[in-house]
Copies of this chain bind each other. A is one copy, B any other.
Amino acid sequence: MSNKIPVGVLGATGAVGQKFVKLLEGHPWFELVELAASDRSAGKTYAEATSWRQYTRIPENIRGLTVKTCEPGLDCRLVFSGLDASVAGEVEEGFARAGYVVVTNSRNHRMDEDVPLLVPEINSEHLGLIRIQRERRGWSGAIVTNPNCSTAGLVMALAPIERAFGIRRLVVTTMQSLSGAGYPGPSAIDMLGNVVPFIPGEEEKLETEPLKILGRLEGGRIRFAEFGVSAHTNRVSVEDGHTECVSLEMEKKASVDEVARALAGFTSIPQELNLPSAPERPIIVRQERDRPQPRYDRDEGGGMSAVVGRLRACPVFDIRFLVLSHNTVRGAAGGAILNAEIMKARGHLD
C-alpha cells in the first residue's frame, strides 16, 4: 500500500486533465486514484473515455480506471481541476463545500477575494486566505487557483523586478501557442501562415491577474499591486509555449545588468523546500541574441522555468525583454501541481 496522498482529477479527459494525468505519473507525493469527467465519459475506462494526445502513452495503472462523474464521492481529499470554465464554477464549489481541497487551473474563482491566485515562487503567503475562505463560506475544503497561462510566465519575470525595483507600468505583447486554446482549438485553415490577433478574455486576465499575484496579504485581504498593464494577445502557429515581449517602467532606476542579476538570481521557497515540481532555477536568463524560442526553450526546468532573453534598455520605458514559458506545464497542470506541493509542505493538506 502506497503512502502517497491519493488525488483525483476533475475534467480528466480534456487537454488540461490529460496533462495532470501525465505529470502525476510517478509523482513522489501524490497518487492518482480518481478520474472524473462529464456524464458522457462516466462509466468508461479512462482509455476508452479519453482521446489521448500526449506524446507518452497513458500510464499503465491509469488506463483501466473507471471514469466517474464530477461529484463529491471521490475517494481522495485533494482534487486537481482541469474543468472547462463553463462548468468549473459550481462543480468546484460543490467539492470544496464537501470538504475537498480543489487545486484548479480554471479561471472561475481566480479573482474571488478569498481565493488564493497562487504562484509558489511569488506569493505563497497568500495561502493565508484559505482560513478566511473557510470561515466566510463555511467550507471544510478549499479552492486554490493558479493563473492563466499567459500570466504565469509574465509574473515570474515581473516578481523579482517588482521586489527589487518596483514596477510602474508595462506593455506586453504575446505570441501564444495553439495548445493554450484547448482541444480542438483553432482551425488549421485559420492558422496556416497566419496570425490571429485576438484571444477572447485573454487581455483582461493578463491585465488584472498579475496585480493580485504580486499583491500583499494585509488584514485578511489582498492589497493588489498598483502598476498598469497594457496587453496585446495573439495566437500563432506554435505547438506549446507562450512568448511575450515586455517593455517596462520601474519605480527605481536600475541598469540592465542589475535587472539581469535580479532575474537570474531569483530563487524562492519552492526551491528551498525542494518541492518535487519546482525547477532548480525559476528564471533562466539567456544571453543569445535570438533566444528564447518556443520550440527550443519551452521545456527548460521540465517546463516549469520561465526563460528570459533579449534583456535590454527600452527607449520609451526603462527595460525590455522577452519571456517564454510552457503554457500547459507552468501555465496549467504543472503550476497547479506545484501549488498542491507547497500546500502539502505548508501543512494545508493535513
- Residues of A whose CB lies within 8 Å of any CB of B are 53, 55, 169-171, 173, 175, 178-179, 183-198, 207, 228-230, 232, 234, 236-239, 243, 245, 247, 289-296, 299, 309-310, 314-317, 320, 322
Contacts and interface: CB of A to CB of B under 8 A. Distances in A.
B188 A178 contact: yes
Contacts of A191: 188, 192
A79 to B, nearest CB: 26
Name the residue in A179, A192, A198, A238 with the highest tally of chain B Cβ atoms < 10 Å from its Cβ: A192
B194 A293 contact: yes
A195 B55 contact: no
A238 B296 contact: no
A173 B172 CA distance: 9
B55 A293 contact: no
A260 B299 CA distance: 37
A293 B197 contact: yes
B247 A290 contact: no
Contact of A229 (B179, B207, B239, B315): B315
A192 B191 CA distance: 9
Given A188-B191, A230-B247, 7 more contacts: A171-B171, A185-B188, A194-B238, A194-B293, A197-B290, A228-B315, A229-B316
Contact of A179 (B189, B196, B289): B189
B198 A230 contact: no
Contacts of A317: 171, 230
A310 B234 contact: no
Nearest to A299: B55
Contact of A184 (B189, B237, B247): B189
A347 to B, nearest CB: 37
20 contacts: A53-B296, A171-B171, A183-B187, A184-B184, A184-B187, A185-B188, A186-B187, A188-B191, A192-B193, A192-B238, A193-B294, A194-B295, A195-B294, A196-B290, A196-B293, A197-B290, A197-B322, A207-B315, A230-B314, A232-B245
B296 A230 contact: no
A26 B188 CA distance: 31
A229 to B, nearest CB: 6
B289 A173 contact: no
Contact of A234 (B175, B183, B237): B175
B243 A195 contact: yes
A173 B293 contact: no
Contacts of A175: 175, 195, 234, 236
Nearest to A54: B296
A189 B183 contact: yes
A310 B198 contact: yes
Nearest to A182: B189
A229 B171 CA distance: 13
